[in-house]
Amino acid sequence: MEYIKIRFGKNLGQMHSRIQQTIDDMFQRVNPILSILPGEVWRPQVDIVETEDVITVICEVSGVNKEDLSVEIDSGALKISGKKEESFGSSIRRYHLVEIPYGNFERILMLPVSIDQNRVTASYNNGVLRIEMAKPVAGKEHRVPIQGE
């Protein structure tokens, strides 16, 4: 059984820049081929779903090998990164249509609530990465008995 790498880090939220995201989005809209050039970053689509007990992140990364995926979590953010290899190899070719993104990708997502880092699981099936992060168990009310009369 192979596992998806999950690392716990610090200050992931500070790594993510709204300005950088805006610039990347602008260039991708102007010319989609800019998102697939070597070394460029693309962002897979993500859903974040919250229930009473769990935060679930579903990330669509079809065509990516599980060994090329990485998940990093800190108290307030989740980073999903990896690489999607181009299927044509390195021979010279002429593109007529380019819509499939290749290369490195990275998503840093701010978590809506804190999570219990001891109860995180990740699975990858049919091109979908699913990360389930349990919320901390809320402390139950503890009554302190008062001694005396």
pTM for the full predicted model: 0.67
Nearest Cα neighbor of 15 from 76, 83, 61 is 76
What pLDDT, on a 0 to 100 scale, did the predictor assign at position 134?
92
Asked if the model's pLDDT at residue 144 lies above 70, the reply is: no
What pLDDT, on a 0 to 100 scale, did the predictor assign at position 85?
85
The domain made up of 5-134 has a fold known as Immunoglobulin-like (2.60.40)
Q: Are 50 and 114 in contact (CB under 8 A)?
A: no
Pairwise CA distance, residues 53 & 2, whole Å: 27
Computed on alpha carbons and rounded to an integer, the radius of gyration of the chain in Å comes to 20
Domain coordinates of the chain in residue numbers?
Answer: 5-134
Per residue in 102-141, pLDDT (tens digit) is 889 989 899 988 888 888 999 999 999 999 999 987 764 5
Q: Is the dihedral of CA 125, 113, 117, 10 positive or negative?
A: positive
Asked if the model's pLDDT at residue 148 lies above 60, the reply is: no
The better pLDDT of the pair 88, 109 is held by 109
What pLDDT, on a 0 to 100 scale, did the predictor assign at position 46?
94
Q: By mean pLDDT, which of 13-27, 66-80, 85-99 is the weakest? A: 13-27
What pLDDT, on a 0 to 100 scale, did the predictor assign at position 35?
45
- How many helices, marked H, and strands, marked E, lie in the chain? 2, 9
Nearest Cα neighbor of 105 from 85, 83, 127 is 83
Q: Is 31 left (phi over 0), alpha (psi -120 to 50) or beta?
A: beta
Burial tier of 129 (Cβ tally within 10 Å: 0-12, 13-18, 19+)? buried
Per residue in 14-73, pLDDT (tens digit) is 555 555 566 666 655 555 544 444 445 678 999 999 999 999 999 999 999 999 999 998
Q: What are phi and psi of 59, to 5 degrees?
A: -125, 125
